[in-house]
A and B are shown apart, each in its own frame.
Chain A
Amino acid sequence: MSLQEGQIIGEESLQPDLRSAQEEEMDRTSRIPIPGWLRIVWQNRKARFGLVLLGVFVFAAIFAPWLAPYDPRDNDFLPFQTPNSDHWLGTTQAGQDIFSQLIWGARASIIVGILAGALATVIGLVIGLVAGYVGGFVDETLSFFINLALVVPTLPLMVVLAAYSPVRGLTTVIIVIGITGWAWGARVKRAQMITLKERDYITASIFAGDSMPRIVFREIMPNMTSLVVAGYIGAATAAIGAEAGLAFLGVGDPLTISWGTMLQWANNSGALLTGQWAWIVPPGLCLALLITALTFINFGVDAISNPHLREE
């Protein structure tokens, strides 16, 4: 254990930019201990905006039952209402309150983003790390699958997978998105692995007789944390878009209230024709804002590993 820690510290000292003296000074002076990486992300103005925006959506998702004025499935109201004081965004074709659905919709997006993003990241990480580290025939084979998954059109594949699934639930959607969205991450991590495995501390680790999983996951992986985090946020962003798309096409989970299903119903009930703007614009904008928030956070995450991107 102590040997490994020593190696990691040694690696950090190879990259003096990672923690500048100034930051360490700030670490010592600040009363509340904030991890260095969070500080770097927070210092980026775009990332700060993104974090705040994401916080709003996460808040809405967690406290949806208390924030929403009505039960989003309650269909006791007069259908096709335009915005009024009782129903801020009007009501659906089935007489449900649109504003309540909008708040609950944050839940579906955030859950799918967290879980499908994690699934895609884990698959991509394992395949990418193993391919890059082992090399040779294993790499050739895994690279083939990575390239295959990169070129097969994702949306038709997701639709077919979802269509054949015996159960239609949010779990199905998460799995389908996860197993179709890992390829890009795998490719990036494979490339990073190939450059990292040539470093001296890995050679030392091999000579010390460490096992391959230990070297890959304990020695090398910690050195690509920011890459993994950025990849995870990217995968989560793509997953949120994919969920909305699948739901809009009617192959999502019909029982979950999400921004995608809201738009599907709005489109199917001719909300465009009747001019129910409040039914169509907010879900689309919420999706765009959530995706923007995550994209902005990634600007800050990039700055962790690339000091040139940091803002003073």
Chain B
Amino acid sequence: MIYFLRKIVFFILTLWAAATLNFIIPRIQGGDPAQAIVQRIVGSNQTVDPRQVEAIRLMLGVPDDPLPQQYVDYMGAILRGEFGISYSYMPYTVTHMIGEALPWTLVLVGITQILSFIIGTLVGTWAAWRRNGAFDSVITTASSFFGTLPFFWIAMMIVYLFAFELAWFPDGGGYSGEVTAGWNWDFIRSAAYHSILPAFCLMVVGPIGWIMGMRNTMVQTLGEDYTRLARAKGLTDRRIALTYGARNAILPNVTGFAISLGGLVGGTIFIEQIFDYPGMGQLMFDALGNRDYPLMQAIFLFITVGVLTANFLADMLYGVIDPRVRRGGES
């Protein structure tokens, strides 16, 4: 019970810390969004009229309250789910823009994360069981090779090969221009078709962490005394591999689930850039280019909260499947 309480407290504290971080970053680094917007409108070489800046500032409702007051207002707004109006997509709200982009990323990341976990764990199990065999050598070498290649570079190569050279898949976008977005069969088929290549790119590097993690822990569990006992009892190989080796080795991988999610989200940002995919990463870069601070902050908060929540759920699950953690109280 103490384990779960600790994790819940940690989760709430991390959420608060992430929100506070999101509040602090723009304020310590300076940079006036109103100034930036006027600068963009008049061109980078022109001088900016202070009255224009003042007008923009009024229009955006840039606060000039003292910082503690701003902080209280900010926290209140977040709790009510109000993120203001996007500078660059006026009159749309930030929430509306995120609502448009979120499903794309959620589906892409969700599917690739789960597939990576399953494939990686299976491959890692097999590699550990047939340790130092041909399969193990090939997988270990390939994993370290692909692990060192820059991820976005792999994605560029894949785009070149499958989208341009072979033209099997579209080179970008979330769906074809000929279909209307919504819950119709044509759209879903088109969206699925467009997401194959981005998902494939994520899948090239996605399972690597799982494979290596699973393989290394399982090599350890196979060397434990209880595995030796299982052999001595004359249990089948299958039972030793799955129930004794893999089942105990999978536990650390569950904790890794959440940490790897952060990495996968990072990968998605690259993928969405390269594929012009209409998700959160792409939106983040539009916001960045347009100096759309409310949108950028909200996206950062959404991504962070998403990863933190996944982490929290993984911790909870870990407590359920591994009684040692629950009883120990200390993780």
A139-165 vs B, Cβ < 8 Å mask (1 yes, 0 no): 000001001101111111101110111
Interface of B is mostly: helix
Q: Number of contacts between A and B (CB, 8 Å)?
A: 116
A237-264 vs B, Cβ < 8 Å mask (1 yes, 0 no): 0000100110011110000000000010
CB distance from B141 to the nearest CB of A (A): 12
Q: Is the CB of B266 within 8 A of A155?
A: yes
A146 to B65, CA, bound (A): 32
B311 interface neighbour in A151, A161, A163, A295, Cβ under 8 Å: A151
B307 interface neighbour in A147, A152, A263, Cβ under 8 Å: A152
CB distance from A19 to the nearest CB of B (A): 28
Interface centre among B29, B144, B285 (most CB of A within 10 A): B29
CB distance from A63 to the nearest CB of B (A): 25
Known A245-B152, A263-B153; contact A251-B303, beta-carbon cutoff 8 A: no
Residues in B with CB closer than 8 Å to A165 are: 29, 31
Q: Nearest A residue to B31 by beta-carbon distance?
A: A166
CB distance from B133 to the nearest CB of A (A): 21
Q: Does A225 contact B (CB under 8 A)?
A: no
CB distance from A87 to the nearest CB of B (A): 21
Q: Does B149 contact A (CB under 8 A)?
A: yes
Which of the candidate stretches B215-223, B233-241, B257-265 sits at the interface with the other chain? Answer: B257-265
Q: Is the CB of B13 within 8 A of A157?
A: no
CB distance from B262 to the nearest CB of A (A): 4
Q: Is the CB of A144 within 8 A of B307?
A: no
Which of the candidate stretches B56-64, B267-275, B317-325 sits at the interface with the other chain? Answer: B267-275
Which of the candidate stretches B118-126, B156-164, B188-196 sits at the interface with the other chain? Answer: B156-164
A157 to B152, CA, bound (A): 18
CB distance from A37 to the nearest CB of B (A): 24
Q: Does A288 contact B (CB under 8 A)?
A: yes
Within 8 A of A (CB), among B148-173: 148-153, 156-157, 159-160, 164
Known A272-B156, A288-B148; contact A152-B304, beta-carbon cutoff 8 A: yes
Q: Does A280 contact B (CB under 8 A)?
A: yes
Known A153-B304, A166-B31; contact A263-B152, beta-carbon cutoff 8 A: yes
Residues in A with CB closer than 8 Å to B308 are: 151-152
Residues in B with CB closer than 8 Å to A280 are: 153, 156-157, 160
A295 to B144, CA, bound (A): 10
Q: Is the CB of B274 within 8 A of A156?
A: no
Known A156-B300, A164-B25, A249-B273; contact A244-B262, beta-carbon cutoff 8 A: no
A160-193 vs B, Cβ < 8 Å mask (1 yes, 0 no): 1101111000000000000000000000000000
Q: Nearest B residue to A294 by beta-carbon distance?
A: B148
Residues in A with CB closer than 8 Å to B17 are: 148
9 extra interface residue pairs, beta carbon distance < 8 Å, beyond A152-B14, A166-B29, A287-B153: A148-B14, A151-B258, A156-B303, A156-B304, A160-B297, A166-B30, A245-B270, A280-B153, A291-B148
Nearest first, the 10 A-B pairs at minimum CB distance are A155-B266, A284-B153, A153-B262, A164-B29, A291-B148, A272-B160, A288-B149, A153-B265, A288-B148, A292-B148
A to B CB contacts below 8 Å, 18 in the list: A148-B18, A151-B307, A152-B18, A152-B308, A153-B303, A153-B304, A155-B265, A156-B266, A156-B284, A164-B29, A164-B31, A245-B152, A249-B285, A263-B156, A280-B160, A287-B153, A288-B153, A295-B148
